Amino acid sequence: MRLLFLSLVAVYVASIISNGLSSDANVALEIGRHEAQSKLDEEQRDILARLEAKRDAKVSEFVQDWRRAYPAVSAERLQELRLIEQKVNNDITVAADFTIAAKQKKADRLNDAIAVPFGRKFEANPGM
């Protein structure tokens, strides 16, 4: 009887320890994700600040559009933003092509062409 009781206590203690360890692992994983996202967000802020420093109306419009659309950036969107920064550094006039207004004009032409047969409407996002 005593052996059975001690076995049950051992199983109970082991389950408590196991739950605690998995909880610690989940917390560590979440901290890692948060740190990775913070690095991505910091790089995005740096790129957008460099673009904003150009003091061009279309570049500023693009930066505002981007900030509204992607407050927390993904790695893929950050790569796209890096490419856009390179293109804008090479030719500042291309910034207008990446704004929502320019993208929506293209989407509206597409909407006019396919809205009747398919009933789908495209919404523009900033970027490429």
**What pLDDT, in 10s, does the model give residues 99-124?**
887 777 767 676 666 665 566 665 66
Domain that holds residue 30: 2-118
Contact of 69 with 125, CB cutoff 8 Å: yes
Contact of 42 with 50, CB cutoff 8 Å: no
**What pLDDT, in 10s, does the model give residues 2-34?**
777 777 777 777 777 766 666 677 778 888 888
Is 33 inside a domain boundary? yes
Is 64 inside a domain boundary? yes
**What pLDDT, in 10s, does the model give residues 50-99?**
999 999 999 999 999 999 999 989 999 999 999 999 999 999 999 988 88
Is 15 inside a domain boundary? yes
Please give the tally of structural domains in the chain. 1
Distance between CA 79 and CA 86 in Å, rounded?
11
Who contacts 47 (Cβ-Cβ below 8 Å, separation ≥6)?
78, 81, 82, 85
Is 126 inside a domain boundary? no
Helix-helix angle 57-69:2-52, to 10 degrees: 170
The pLDDT of residue 118 is 60
Phi, psi of 99 (to 5 degrees): -75, 160
